Structure 1
Amino acid sequence: MMTGFRLNLAPVKEPLGFIKVVEWFTAVFAFGSCGGYAGRNVVSVFCGGGVNETLNATFSYPFRLNQMLLVEGNTTICNHTVAETHLVGDSSSSAEFFVAVATLAFLYCMAALLVYVGYMHVYRDSDFGPMFDFVVTSILTFLWLVCASAWARGLQTVKDATDTAGILSTLALCKENDVTCEVTDFASFRSLNVSVVFGYLNLVVWAGNAWFVYKETRWHSQKLSSQGVGRGTVPAPI
Structure 2
Amino acid sequence: MQTGFRLNLSPVKEPLGFVKFVEWLTAVLAFGTCGGYSGRNVLSISCSENSTETLPFSFFYPFRLNQVLLVENNATLCNQTVPEAHLIGDSSSSAEFFVAVAVLAFLYSMVALLVYLGYMHVYRDSDFGPIFDFVMTAAFAFLWLVCSSAWARGLQMVKDTTSTTGLHSSLHLCQTRLGACEVTEYASMRSLNISVVFGFLNLIVWFVNAWFVYKESRWHSQKVNARQAAGQGPGPI
Fold in common (TM above 0.5): yes
Code of the residue aligned with 1:181 in structure 2: it is: C
Pairwise CA distance, 1:72? 1.3
Q: Distance in 2 between matches of 1:130 and 1:83?
A: 61
Counterparts of 1:148 and 1:137 in 2: how far apart (Å)? 16
Query: Residue by residue, what CA displacement relative to the aligned partner does 1:4-40 show, whole Å, maximum 9, x if unpaired?
Result: 0000000010000000110111000000000000001
Alpha carbons 1:173, 1:179 under 8 Å: kept: no
| Aligned residue in 1 for 2:59 | 59
Q: In structure 2, how many angstroms separate the alpha carbons of the residues matched to 1:48 and 1:176?
A: 14
Matched to 2:182, the amino acid is E
Partner of 1:159: 159
Correspondence list, 1:118-133, <5 A: 118-133=118-133
Please state whether the residue corresponding to 1:53 is helix, strand or coil.
strand
TM-score (norm 2): 0.97
SS at match of 1:55: strand
Identity, % of aligned positions? 68
Secondary structure of 2:44's aligned partner:
strand
Take 1:179 and 1:54, find their aligned partners in 2: how far apart are those partners? Answer: 15
Aligned to 2:135: 135
Q: Which aligned pairs between 1:14-25 and structure 2 lie closer than 5 A?
A: 14-25=14-25
Higher mean Cα deviation, 79-88 or 141-150?
Answer: 79-88
| 2:139 aligned with 1:146 | no
CA distance in 2, matches of 1:149, 1:177: 37
Q: Does 1:80 align with 2:80?
A: yes
Aligned to 1:109: 109
Deviation at 1:187, TM superposition (A): 0.6
RMSD: 1.4
Structure 1: which 4+ aligned runs deviate by more than 3 Å?
Answer: 233-237
Contact in 2 for aligned 1:24/1:106 (Cα 8 Å): yes
Kept in 2, the 8 Å contact 1:34–1:192? The answer is yes
| Structure 2 CA distance for partners of 1:178 and 1:5, relative to 1, 3 Å | closer
Q: Tell me, which stretches of 5 or more residues in structure 1 are unaligned?
A: none
Q: What SS class does the counterpart of residue 63 from structure 1 fall into? A: coil
Which residue in the other structure is 1:209 paired with? 209
The residue matched to 2:76 in structure 1 has which SS?
A: strand
CA distance in 2, matches of 1:236, 1:133: 41
2:94 partner amino acid: S
| Letter of the structure 2 residue corresponding to residue 176 of structure 1 | T
AA in 2 matched with 1:220: H
Q: From the superposition, tell whether residues 235 and 115 of structure 1 become closer, same or farther in structure 2 (CA, over 3 Å).
A: closer
TM-score by length of 1: 0.96
Query: 174-183 vs 4-13, which deviates more?
Result: 174-183
Report the equivalent of 1:27: 27
Give the total of aligned pairs: 237
- Structure 2: unaligned runs, 5 residues or longer: none
1:117/1:79 CA distance change after superposition, 3 Å = same
Deviation at 1:117, TM superposition (A): 0.3
Q: Bigger CA drift: 227-236 or 197-206?
A: 227-236
Q: Aligned partners of 1:148 and 1:2: how far apart in 2?
A: 41
Residue 57 of structure 1 deviates from its aligned partner by 2.5
Alpha-carbon deviation of 1:50? Answer: 5.9
